[in-house]
Homo-oligomer: A and B are copies of this chain.
Amino acid sequence: MVMRILLEPIVRAALFEDLGRAGDITSDAVVPADAMIEAVIVARQEGIVAGLDPALLAFELLDPGLAIDILAADGSTVARGQRVARIAGRARPVLAAERTALNLVSRLSGVATATRSLVDAIRGHNAKIVCTRKTTPGLRILEKEAVRLGGGANHRFGLDDAMLIKDNHIALAGGVAEALRRARAHAGHLVKIELEVDTLDQLAEALAVGVDAVLLDNMDPPTLRRAVQMVAGRAVTEASGRITRETAPAIAAAGVDLISSGWITHSAPILDLGLDIA
C-alpha cells in the first residue's frame, strides 16, 4: 500500500490539472450547493482493482466530509457490474472529482489486470512476471503497486536503486567483464548488479566475473533453456523482449526466474470503471 503522504502530491496535481482556474463550472451552475448524492464506482468489465486509494483520495481532498466506503479492495477480482466503492455526500465535489478518480483507478486497474493476464499465462511455472521502468511519467509508484496487486513483482524503481548494465554500457566500458568490474568497484554493499546479455558468450563472460542477475534479452526458449543451465543458480535469470500471453508460457518453461514486460505498464488498456448515481 502506498503511503498517503506519497499519494497526496500526485492526486492533488491531477485535481489541479482538471479543475484549472475556475473549477467545475458546470456543476457550480447546474447543481444546487446543497444537493446530496450517493455514487458508486462500478466495474464495467471483469478485472483486477488497483488504484482505489488515490482515486478515493481525490474525493476526500475535495470534500473531507464525504462518506467513502470500499466495497472491493485493491487487488480484488471484480466481475462486470460489481460495485467497487461508494461515495456519499455533497453532489458538487463528487462530480468534480469523478473524472480524476476514474482516470486513476481505471488506468491502474488496467495495469493490474494486464499483469494478471500474464501471471495466469505462466501459472504452474516458477517464473514471476516483473515490470520495467517503461512506466507513465509521474505515476511510477502507482503503477509499480498495480503490478504487485496483479500478482507481478517489481523491477528497480529508478536509475538509482540498483545497477542494470545494458548493451550501451558494455560497449562504452569495453566489454562485459570490464563493465562488471567497474560496477562492482562502485556499488555499495546493498546494491545489486544485473547485466543484460544478448549471447551465451556474454553470459559466460558475466558468470566468470560474477553477477547478481542476468537479463537475457530477446532469446528464444531453447537458448533461454541453455542460459538457465549455464547459470546454474549462480544468478537470477530474467527473460525480456516482446512478451505476450502467447509467448510467455514457453519462456517460463525454459526455467527462467523472471519474465519482464514493458507492455503491462506502457500499453495496458484501462479497465473500464464508471461512476453511477444510486
Chain A: interface residue count, which band?
A: 35 or more
B29 near A187 with CB under 8 A, answer yes
B19 near A103 with CB under 8 A, answer no
151-183 of chain A: CB within 8 A of chain B:
153-166, 168-169, 171-173, 179, 182-183
Most chain B beta-carbon contacts within 10 A, residue among A28, A137, A157, A173: A137
Judge whether A227 is part of the interface by a CB distance below 8 angstroms: no
Q: Mark A204-226, 1 if CB is under 8 A from B, else 0.
A: 00000000110000000000000
Q: Which residues of B contact A192 (CB under 8 A)?
A: 189-192
A186 near B28 with CB under 8 A, answer yes
Q: Which residues of B contact A17 (CB under 8 A)?
A: 21, 137-138, 140, 158
Chain multiplicity (copies): 6
Nearest residue (CB) in B for A94 is B168
Give the CA-CA distance A257 to B190 in the complex, in Å.
13
Judge whether A48 is part of the interface by a CB distance below 8 angstroms: no
A158 near B238 with CB under 8 A, answer no
**Nearest-Cβ distance from residue A129 to partner chain B, whole angstroms:** 12
Partner of A138, one of B13, B24, B159: B13
Q: Which residues of B contact A137 (CB under 8 A)?
A: 10, 13-14, 17, 100, 103-104, 107, 138-139
**Nearest-Cβ distance from residue A87 to partner chain B, whole angstroms:** 12
A95 near B169 with CB under 8 A, answer yes
A19 near B194 with CB under 8 A, answer no
Stretch of A75-83, A244-252, A265-273 contacting B (4+ beta carbons < 8 Å):
A265-273
Judge whether A136 is part of the interface by a CB distance below 8 angstroms: yes
19-62 of chain A: CB within 8 A of chain B:
19-33, 35, 37, 61-62
Judge whether A135 is part of the interface by a CB distance below 8 angstroms: yes
Partner of A162, one of B14, B23, B110, B190: B190
- 21 pairs, A vs B, C-beta closer than 8 Å: A3-B93, A10-B137, A17-B140, A20-B157, A20-B159, A20-B161, A21-B144, A25-B160, A26-B164, A26-B166, A29-B186, A32-B172, A35-B172, A37-B172, A110-B267, A130-B188, A136-B139, A137-B139, A155-B190, A168-B277, A189-B257
Q: What are the nearest 9 A-B pairs in CB distance?
A: A29-B186, A162-B190, A20-B160, A14-B137, A22-B160, A267-B269, A138-B138, A161-B161, A20-B158
Beyond A21-B144, A31-B172, 18 additional contacts (C-beta under 8 Å) are A3-B62, A3-B96, A10-B138, A20-B157, A20-B159, A26-B159, A29-B182, A29-B183, A30-B173, A32-B172, A107-B266, A136-B136, A157-B160, A161-B190, A171-B277, A189-B194, A189-B258, A190-B192
